[in-house]
Amino acid sequence: MRIAMISMHTSPLQQPGSGDAGGMNVYVLATARELARRGVEVDVFTRATRPSQGHVVDVEPGLRVINVVAGPYEGLSKEELPTQLAAFAGGVLQFVRCEQIRYNLIHSHYWLSGQVGWLLRDLWHVPLVHTAHTLAAVKNSHRTPTDTQESDARRICEQQLVDNADVLVVNTPEETNDLVRHYDAEPEKVAVIAPGADVELFTPGQQRNTEQARRNLGIPMHTKVVAFVGRLQEFKGPQVLLRAVAELLRRDPARDMRVIMCGGPSGAQATVEHYTELARSLGICHRVRFLDPRPPEELVAIFQAADVVAVPSYNESFGLVAIEAQACGTPVIAARVGGLPMAVLDGETGLLVHDHEPETWADAIAELLDDDPTRIAMGVAAREHAAHFTWAQAAEKLESVYVEALEFELNVCHDRKPEGA
């Protein structure tokens, strides 16, 4: 089986937590790797953003990333990428002609890629599997007061993909409900496949791992640590955590705690300076340390160093950070939105918070930081819970979806044959 994966707006090789790179990048790379290890040949097509990338990157046997030139390498925002859909599709077609490749199926990620996949599906006469990752209607219903509303154009493009894709892959049953409620999707076209985590990489480690991680970060062992890992943008809620910590310290100025904010700015208005200034204005800048995005191999140390990981997003299709943190044996405090109630078991592996008010979040953080036995027990349960989510399992289910889509397409083509053919 040979699959064309399309991830136009962000490369799976880009560092998560920077720019537009996030959980989707992790998802695409991890599932593509596991599919390749199962014998599926996977080519991931993405837009080239610098000339030094190389046209074709061999990631590992059976997996390549194809960097397609479509528009300038730099200076093109995600909002401007629709102007390059035709150029990108043309680049994919040119590569296929030159390589004389035939793909059995297309799997597109995000609505921009879906539009390209829809065109290629009809040219190549193969099934189209689409994963939205985020939806305009859902983001608009959960956006913060300062967030820019997603455009009607995106909403229309997503509706076209819901209507025309052969299979819609989602992370949780909640996403199925979103597709049915907002886009009138046919439930039988939707396949629910939970993402995973690299549970061999993300592990609790030994006590010395935590000590080393804290020593490297300059944090004493006795200090309580709350970590935020993700893109620095309003929708991910870093401001919620900072205000909650300010509230905690207002209640108890002597509280010994630190906050780690690991991630880069995302979006035209977002800057690290904005959040450092917020911490300064709240009087907690001496308690907060901002770290650049880092690869998974280094991210493990952040999770191991933390007593609690906070995920205060306004919506998450699943919440990979929550699973990765729990795989390291660290409880998670998360917003009760999207797929996070599936990723975090409330009261067992962490806590779910019903709003984004600083006082409510301060209560939840204090509840875990001040109760060592409960927090430690949650950490053990968190590791066991995360073990149920692996990329190998996700890839196995994805391959089954591909096979079913191909069999259905074969049967449809057979039914279309004229009598006697």
Annotated binding site for Mg(2+): 303-304, 306, 330
Provide CB contacts within 8 A for 81, sequence distance 6+: 8, 9, 47, 71, 112
**Which residue in 310, 313, 319, 226 sits closest to 266, CA to CA?**
313
Distance between CA atoms of residues 419 and 372, nearest Å: 73
**Which residue in 22, 8, 7 sits closest to 265, CA to CA?**
22
Give 16: exposed, middle or buried? Use CB within 10 Å, 0-12, 13-18, 19+: buried
> What burial letters (b/e) apply to 257-295, b meaning 16+ CB within 10 Å?
bbbbbbbbbbbeebeeeebbebbeebebeebbbbbebbe
Q: Look at the block and give the residue holding tokens 């993909």.
A: 161
| Residue 287, amino acid | R
Binding-site positions: 9, 15-16, 20-25, 78, 110, 134, 154, 231, 236, 294, 303-304, 306, 316, 324, 330
| Whether the Cβ atoms of residue 302 and residue 213 lie closer than 8 Å to each other | yes
What is the DSSP secondary structure assignment for residue 63, as one 8-state letter? E
Which tokens in the block code for residue 343?
């990723």
SS3 162: helix
Binding-site positions for 1D-myo-inositol 3-phosphate: 9, 20-25, 78, 110, 134, 154
CA atoms within 13 A on the CB side of 141: 12
Angle subtended at Cα 106 by Cα 105 and Cα 112, rounded to the nearest 5 degrees: 170
* Alpha-helix runs per DSSP H in 202-345: 207-217, 238-251, 272-281, 296-305, 320-327, 340-343
| Whether the Cβ atoms of residue 289 and residue 272 lie closer than 8 Å to each other | no
Angle subtended at Cα 249 by Cα 244 and Cα 250, rounded to the nearest 5 degrees: 95
SS3 365: helix
| Whether the Cβ atoms of residue 143 and residue 41 lie closer than 8 Å to each other | no
> Considering Cα of 323, then 328, then 329, then 335, what sign does the dihedral take?
negative
Helix, strand, coil: what percent of the chain each, to 5? 50, 15, 35
Binding-site positions for UDP-N-acetyl-alpha-D-glucosamine: 15-16, 23, 231, 236, 294, 316, 324
